[in-house]
Each structure stands twice: as structure tokens, then as C-alpha cells.
Amino acid sequence: MRPGSLNDRTVAPEARPQVSRNSGGLMKKLLMAALLLAAPLHAQEDGQVASATGGVLRALDKISGNTIDLEITRGDSQSLGNLQITMVDCRYPVGDPAANAYAALEITENDSADPLYSGWMIASAPALHALEHFRYDIWVIRCSTS
């Protein structure tokens, strides 16, 4: 074929439309972000939260590999090794204490007055606000109502 003939379909690079190869990935990320932002709004519309009488935590001893479940009444404390774990509050969606529980905890070492951890842990996202400790991982399992 000769250049310039009717069958020559060569187009100069600057005349080609620019298509991002990653535009599909960006759209997926935007869609996921929109869904994640909409989920709490949906949960707020569905109902209210209630405070439970206590909660169930699970602890992993990173050295031995053993796990233990701790049932702690609101306002009470339990010991785990050299840690003192206080359940300040445990809240859950009304009608379903096992779903989306979140607990306010204060965790201190026995020989210290300063807390290692003070804040809310969320059962559905345990890594969101986790305890930073060399030996133990602790996370919320559910609230208890009895």
C-alpha cells in the first residue's frame, strides 16, 4: 500500500483519542468508596443503638498462639497477663447484639497508671483502632445482654 491511499488507516499519535488504561480500576475504586460511605448512613436510618450489660472480647497470645474469650460486664475489669482490661461500654444495633458491636475499652499494664489503649473497638473492623502490644491482640466479638 502506498502512503495516502484510501486503505491507509495510520493515524498520527497526537490525533488518537487518549484512553486511560486504568480508568476501569479508578471507577471500581470510586464505586467502592461510595458504597462504603453509604453503608453507615443506611445503618443510621435502620435503627438506634443500645448499651449492653457487657461484652465479649477475644485475646490472642502472640507468643503461645492461644486464644481466650473474655466476658466482661460494663464497668468491670479483668486481668490478662500483665494487662488490666476495663469494659467502659458496649453498644450494638437494637435487636441484634451480635451484629456490629463496638466497645469502649481502657487497657492498662498492672505497673502503670497510663493507659496503653483507651478508645472504641469495632467488631466488624478490628484493625481500625487496634491495641498495639507486643504480646496480645485483643478485639471485640459481641455485646452481651444478659
pLDDT of residue 70: 97
Average per-residue pLDDT for the chain: 81
The share of the chain scoring above pLDDT 70, in percent, equals 68
Which residues pair with residue 83 across a beta bridge? 80, 109
Sign of CA dihedral 73, 75, 79, 83: positive
Q: Using one digit for the tens of pLDDT, what is the confidence trace for 13-40?
A: 566 555 555 556 676 766 666 666 655 5
pLDDT in tens, 102-120: 999 999 998 888 999 999 9
pLDDT digits (tens, 9 = 90+) for 69-86: 999 999 999 999 999 999
Q: Give the pLDDT confidence score for residue 134 in this predicted structure.
A: 94
Torsion of CA 109, 138, 52, 142, to 10 degrees: -170
Higher-confidence position of 49 and 3: 49
Distance CA 69, CA 54 (A): 13
- How confident is the model at residue 98, as a pLDDT? 73
